[in-house]
Structure 1
Amino acid sequence: MLPLPVSFRKRQLSRNGLRHSKSTKDVLLMRARVTNLGLLLLSGATVLSLLFNLSYYFSSPRGLLHQQLLHHPPPSDILSTIQRHDALSAIDHLIMVPGHAIWKGTDVRRRLDDEEWILEPYQRGGGRVAAFYQHIAAGAELARQDERALIVFSGGQTRPTSTSTEAESYMRLALAADLIPSLSASGLRARSVPRATTEDHALDSYQNLLYSIARFHEYTGRYPSQITIVGYEFKRRRFTELHRAAIRWPRERFHYIGIDAEGEEIIKAQEGERLNGYLPYTVDTYGCHDMLLSKRRSRNPFIRFHSYHSSSPELAPLFSWCPGPSEGGQTAVYGGPLPWHALR
């Protein structure tokens, strides 16, 4: 604190010649004292604000949950049921096949029949079902060529008329068609450990990507170093330009194989993708506002939610990231640490 000016330490004469002392109020209101008092008040307010924010973060449900999940493994009753084969430790390539419908059939010979699928009206005809099967077959063939690859079929329980998930139906069709490769390791019986699994919670393309990474980690115990997506060609830009950038996955380790339905239907599909897919994600990067959030809700008729907060706690902040005005707008990219950056 600055010293009191000398002129005010001395008694001063009033107009009538009497001496008097400055009051405490007068002293504090002098310029030097006002400066010091202001600094004290600002410093105190800053410390209190910092303490309050830290207290709020660590005591709030999101902050507390993140801290608990990050530092505590899943309960023993869950871990006791999990036994990963050693051969899974060599798997580092995620091949993701996003689901678009549900195969309800049992006869693989009828796999291209629309009546064997639960489809949206716009998906009927035009060879869409054939494209679905080509996605499955192409993903399986890639996995056969790369013994370090795991196929993840991704898609939730999106149709109120079926209790199956999109992913489970794709996996069932792939198994019925004998497409799925198995782990090649000594001591393993043929097909005992398939190099394919399902991700049963994604409700849109962004979640297809992010949740498949989390499911890969849940299944293998590690995060992938390479990602290949097998889907529609007309959705390439949505995945490679928007979703990949949203999770800050390195471009050089991200690959996309596009297969479209044949015929004139592709023109309608391309325009529909531009208006209802690509453009909405350019203004709502994480799909958590307005129209895109409404789509997620409509695709979750059975009120399902994922387990990845506990199995992949490193991703919990990214799962919850929904930027608004306070973060810089709905396109603000998540800037926190991500486990795949350590793989470089």
Structure 2
Amino acid sequence: MLPLPISSSRKRRLSRSGLRHRRSVKDALLTRARITNLGLSLLTCVAVLSLLFNLSYHLSSPTNSTYQSLHRPLPFDILSTIQRHDVLSTIDHLIMVPGHAIWKGTDVRRRLDEEEWILEPYQRGGGRVDAFYRHIAAGAELAKEDEHSLLIFSGGQTRPTSTSTEAGSYMRLALAADLIPSLPTPSSRIPGLLRATTEDYALDSFQNLLYSIARFHEYTGRYPSHITVVGYEFKRQRFTELHRAALRWPPGRFHYIGIDAEDEELIKAQEGERLNGYLPYTIDTYGCHDMLLSKRRSRNPFIRFHSYHSSSPELVPLLNWCPGSSDGGRTAVYGGPLPWDTMQ
């Protein structure tokens, strides 16, 4: 027997029943409580993911991870090679001579021969080489006069045709000319210590100053209380007004001795300094953007980098400071704590 057909009225009842069931499920899902719980769950997931991302970034960022690691003791393989004599405890005056070229010679009698130097085209002629030597000699003479000073020649491995650093070549020339003073030692069994060293990583004048402070600390175990820079007279304002202020170094504890080349192109050199040195730093105080950064990169052909993150941990935030729009502009001065804040 065939099944009886479903009446049309029964079909309508079944249809209405299914429709009511679907609506009840939909209404239950779309009630205010369900929406609120779902939204809360989504917001919680987003917040947790954001927290995990920021924590991961914070822990992995170079500045933070480096800064934290530097406050742990240095590894034994580094500390075991370092021996600072007590006589260094009286050293508090940094005398810095920034490098401008590389002396490749061996005969001090030929120190003024341009062929004994690695020079940029604009450095040839006009007595530039003589000025370099007079900077070296003046710095050494100041160091001899002050037994509490440390002479630092500063300048990196800037020329692709030489593995020497500017600082190292200046030091070689000073040693060859017998200009370097020594530290007095309490015993004849302790060899005389040179009161001069090199800072081998700076790529421009700002780094000459900052890195020499860090190198002073690396060498003596303390920061200087006075700084004297010996360089070109036409660069005086760049150092005294811009670089010193960028480091917040007290003006009363900063001195500059300027020695220019004795030539007829001084006016040209002064204009070059204004356009290519002084003015760029007035709009990019720390030299970490655009043209000034490009100069640093071009002067680092061997991809060298310094050790001051580990030897001078107090300076890590300053070493990493590169202000931008979020910091108040490229001239925003670093405002964090510095070892010389208590100086007057």
Per the alignment, in what secondary structure is the counterpart of residue 68 of structure 1?
A: helix
Aligned twin of 1:111: 111
Aligned ranges for residues 1-344 of structure 1 at < 5 Å?
Answer: 56-69=57-70, 71-188=71-188, 192-344=192-344
- Segment drifting more, 47-56 vs 155-164: 47-56
Q: For the pair shown, which has the larger CA radius of gyration, 1 or 2?
A: 2
Question: Which moved further from structure 2: 260-269 or 193-202?
Answer: 260-269
The alpha-carbon deviation at position 73 of structure 1 amounts to 2.4
Shift in Å, 1:85: 1.0
SS class of match (2:244): helix
CA distance in 2 between counterparts of 1:339 and 1:227 reads 14
Counterpart of 1:151 in 2: which secondary structure? strand
Query: RMSD in angstroms over aligned alpha carbons?
Result: 2.7
TM-score normalised per structure 2? 0.84
List gaps (5 residues or longer) in structure 1: 1-23, 27-44
| Change in CA separation of 1:113 and 1:92 when aligned onto 2, cut-off 3 Å | same
Deviations 1:271-323 (A, max 9, x none): 00000000000000010100000000100011100000000011111111111
C-alpha contact (below 8 Å) 2:250/2:343 kept by paired residues: no
Residues 181 and 191, structure 1, Cα contact 8 Å, conserved in 2: no
Q: Which amino acid in structure 1 is aligned with residue 161 of structure 2?
A: T
How far does the alpha carbon of each residue in 1:23-58 deviate from its partner, in whole angstroms, 9 at most, with x for none?
x969xxxxxxxxxxxxxxxxxx99998997666434
Sequence identity (%): 81
Aligned with 2:287: secondary structure? coil
| Cα drift, residue 190 of structure 1 | 9.3
Q: How far apart are 1:192 and its partner, in Å?
A: 2.5
Structure 2: how far apart are the matches of 1:176 and 1:48? 63
**C-alpha separation in 1, matches of 2:121 and 2:191:** 37
Contact 2:184 2:192 in 1 (8 A): no
Q: Give 5+ residue unaligned stretches, structure 2.
A: 1-30, 34-45
Q: Which amino acid aligns with 1:149?
A: S
Q: Which amino acid aligns with 1:293?
A: L
CA contact (8 A) 1:182 1:191 kept: no
Letter matched to residue 129 of structure 2: V
Q: What is the aligned residue count?
A: 311
Which consecutive aligned stretches of 4+ in structure 1 deviate over 3 angstroms post-superposition? 45-56, 188-191
TM normalised by structure 1 equals 0.84
User: CA 1:231 to 1:152, structure 2 compared with 1: closer, same or farther past 3 Å?
Assistant: same
Asked whether the 8 Å contact 1:139–1:230 carries over to 2, the reply is yes
Contact 2:185 2:192 in 1 (8 A): no
Could you say if the C-alpha distance between residues 156 and 192 of structure 1 is closer, same or farther in structure 2, counting changes exceeding 3 Å? same
